Amino acid sequence: MSETENTIAIIGMSGRFPGAGHVGQFWDNLKHGQESITFFTDDMLREAGVREDKLHAPNYVKAAPVLTDIGKFDYPFFGMSKREADMLDPQHRLLLMCAWEALEDAGYVADAYEGLISLFAGCGFNNYLVNEILSRKDDFSEEELQMVLQTNSNDYLSTRISYKLNLRGTSVTLQTACSTSLVAVHYACQSLLMYQSDLALAGGASLRIPAVEGYMYQEGGIFSPDGHCRAFDAEAKGTIFGSGAGIVALKRLEDALEHRDHIYALIKGSAANNDGSSKVGYTAPSVEGQRRVVSEAMMMAEADPRTIGYIEAHGTGTVLGDPIEIAALQEAFGDTGAKQYCAIGSVKTNIGHLNAASGIAGLIKSVLMLYNKQIPPSLHYHRPNPAIDFKESPFYVNTALTDWAAAAHPRRAGVSSFGIGGTNAHLILEEAPTSPKAESRMEQVLLLSARTDTALDSMAAALHRHLQLHPELAMEDVAYTLQVGRQAFPYRYAALSGVDGGLKLIGKNKTDKGKAKIIFMFPGQGSQYINMAAGLYEHISLFRRWADKCFAELNKHLGTDLAPILFGSSEDGGANAALLEQTAIAQPLLFVVEYALARCLMDWGLEPHAMIGHSLGEYVAACIAGVISLEDALAIIVKRGELMQQSPGGAMLAVSAPFGEIGGFADEGIHLSAVNNPGSCTVAGDGEAILRLAARLETAGIGHKLLPVSHAYHSPLMAPVLEPFEQVMQKYKLHAPHIPYISNITGDYMTEAQVKNTRYWSDHIRETVNFSAGIETLRQSGNLMWLEVGPGKALTQLVHQHGIESLKGNVLNMMRHSKEDESDVSALLKGLSACWLSGADIQWEKLHPALPGRVSLPTYPFEGRQCWIDGKQDSEWVEEQGLATAAGDSEVVRSSADRAHLSTAYVPPADGLQGNLVDIWEQVLGIRPIGIKDDFFELGGHSLLATQLISRLRNLIPEIEIQFDRIFNYPTIEGIAEQIEMQMIEHLESNFH
């Protein structure tokens, strides 16, 4: 059997435990021997409503493992209304957040995952329903009581999470009391091994409600007399129950290795069984049942007991349970010939017994031990339970943080969880295989996004802290994980990481709901420079493949390799620069660079809505549009360059004024070559005439610049070229464009007739480049993103000079200017990032042909808001947000934060009907303020809430019948009000007649 067969990789984790809001804090508490039990004062208990007689009872233990902020939930993030969130069992909320975090920690987005993601989970008894909901049942309408059932039944725990996260695999809720979450992990492993899932989430949650409450100790019972769990100790007399939640993300090891996932640890074998009836009573543990489950897990793992260095025991610290567990483990291990080589411990000594979440807590603890190669202390152990003879067993209780020494075999651990009623589970874990550290050879772009601006700021701060704490991380792995392993939200942040690991902000932005249409702009001759795109050729394999394909084709026509001219060494720089000024060389090389870059952008997801080229650039646009094949285009460009170079010499001058304003300064041989914007032009002509014009413009104070060209392009001086070039074009088949692009001659979109007229192509060499008119034509298309796909920034500047108010940073360069001191890769990544910041979808994974690894990074910072059915506000959160409630309103926080995720601005009601509808919507959805243009479903509404809405509308206006489908067809207050008014008019008219 191969090393990977029947092995499961743990690739993601999330948890919330007493004293720990996340897994990292949990491990820090464990290794420092932190006991996370809260001991309450009498005043704390009185404030929580505990009766005085209880407070003074001698056997009332004033302690509990408390999970903080159990009422806080980021309901807008999950598309819920405040009212639904208030009703939802907090256990379900916790697991929903943990499931999201576990997937993010694994580096996956459910929406983009091609395989099946399954979920196996369970939770504890619903104290929220009993203590908070049912006591207020008379306040609920019939429709709301239906929602109470759906939001508080464990039947809907897993399926709701699968719905909210778009998980399309098996979705099962399991309930086996204390062993629930570890049994869930076992069945998740089985689902993966049977190829019913490709990725599986598994875990559980349990909450004690009310949280601030002690318990009554009874001699011989399961509860601890003093609030401490003393597993395996002689003074152990019981455990203490608390709250927590956790989920792990799992994959088959072979798949995890193939996809270079971040692996915390391996599950080599798992088993689950039941005691049956061969024990003292239903709630009693069984040596035989526990022995069988441990033995089966070791058999599945093919693990010799002598290779197991740690057991995370169920370890409840009860007089009866601890000796039975050790006896079962001894029988399962058998006679190993060695004593006290296997450490044993129980997380319950740190955080208490988390009921349905206890197994996942023990599993996550053990995984962290293997990952960090340390064994933390099991607390409160001084001398063994008299019924346990550790000296004659393989086990010893570990009481101090120790390094887990390497051995001839991998480090291994066992994890047990036993449920009241007899369902037992055991897992055999193994440390993850080592993977070589990747080296970043180029800059990387780090992307973050969130639903709100404040969450984005929190994410950025968390990422910076994480990178400072983990300098060993390869930046390519970090970048890849953030690019492909996180869902994109409207508020976006991008930073560039240099090869030295330093970060530089590229930008922050909130994307508009409508995506901009992409315009490709291809510059013409004059923008070239030595070593242009050399960095792209070196580091971007896709660019190199397209460029090499072009070079190979060019070599057939030129008989020489152009690549060394473009990407030559510094010693050849002067000679190559001189060659690059020759039209016959410059034009083919510019075409290669622009075409290869355009193909890369398209492969990465930036499909152009339309294109425009400047002179030579129009040929790139034509080739991309399918007018000319690549092979034909390269042959044409070579011949075009040769012919133009053979034409009479000349010069060109860029002038900062319209042609009509400089006519008095120009000699007769000066011709309008290009109209680039309404306030400037380019002229061409005889070299001496151009120099005379430049001198006159200097005297007149008119800006101008002599262009680095050897000929007077787009002027009558090109006349000798026209007929021979038209004959060249007649040899090639020309096709109608399948992507629209602009003609330089007309400034309008190219037509099929123009494309197939060979005279057009010869005229193109002589006629004025009407680039400005082309920009005006394109801007009629609406929201645009202009990308200069080639060297320099000439076209970018021309677009800006048109004074288009709606640009908002949507004019971008994909390559650096020759004088800019940055790398080619940096310029490209900044351009791509700017596209992404503006809302474009980019297939970032294609920028990493050699698959990087996924790494564990900070997950989404949920912005919790108090969600509790009693309507009490979280005063601390309200104070932090600087908010206030409406007078006499104890149910709903008036908050702009509630509206942060909406696509509409707030519009108040305009009349009484709309005002009444607003009141109803706010009551049903539980948030304020709601505007008349807000979408019911974007506010968190769904079909069950729509039923409540319809019921209240019918009570408001009983004389008309409002159909259920109206909410779906008219999901705004404005729309519903119009429908009601129409029906009321119809009702009055029918009564009148």
Candidates 186, 262, 314, 704; catalytic one: 314
Pairing between strand 310-312 and 412-418? parallel
The alpha-carbon radius of gyration of the chain (Å, integer) is: 36
Strand partners, 671: 684
**CA 612/CA 786 separation, integer angstroms:** 10
178 noted as active-site residue: yes
Candidates 178, 550, 600, 867; catalytic one: 178
Task: Measure the CA angle with vertex 95, ends 94 and 99; round to 5°.
Answer: 125
Give the chain's largest Cα–Cα span.
114
Candidates 22, 92, 228, 353; catalytic one: 353
- In Å, what is the CA distance from 458 to each residue of 480, 497, 761? 20, 19, 56
**CA 273/CA 930 separation, integer angstroms:** 52
Q: Is 662 left (phi over 0), alpha (psi -120 to 50) or beta?
A: alpha
Residue pair 666/684 in contact (Cβ under 8 Å)? The answer is no
Q: What is the DSSP letter of 946?
A: H
H runs (alpha helix) in 8-60: 23-31, 42-47, 52-55
Residue pair 825/536 in contact (Cβ under 8 Å)? The answer is yes
H or E segment and range at residue 643: helix 630-646
615 noted as active-site residue: yes
**CA 211/CA 558 separation, integer angstroms:** 81
CA dihedral of residues 901, 903, 908, 914 (deg, nearest 10): -100
**CA 299/CA 183 separation, integer angstroms:** 18
CB contact set of 720 (below 8 Å; sequence gap of 6+): 646, 647, 648
Cis peptide bond prior to 210, omega within 30° of 0: yes
What interhelical angle do 358-372 and 23-31 show, nearest 10? 70
What interhelical angle do 541-558 and 630-646 show, nearest 10? 60
Candidates 615, 743, 772, 823; catalytic one: 615
What interhelical angle do 583-603 and 541-558 show, nearest 10? 150
314 noted as active-site residue: yes
Q: Is 803 left (phi over 0), alpha (psi -120 to 50) or beta?
A: left
User: Which residues are catalytically annotated?
Assistant: 178, 314, 353, 615
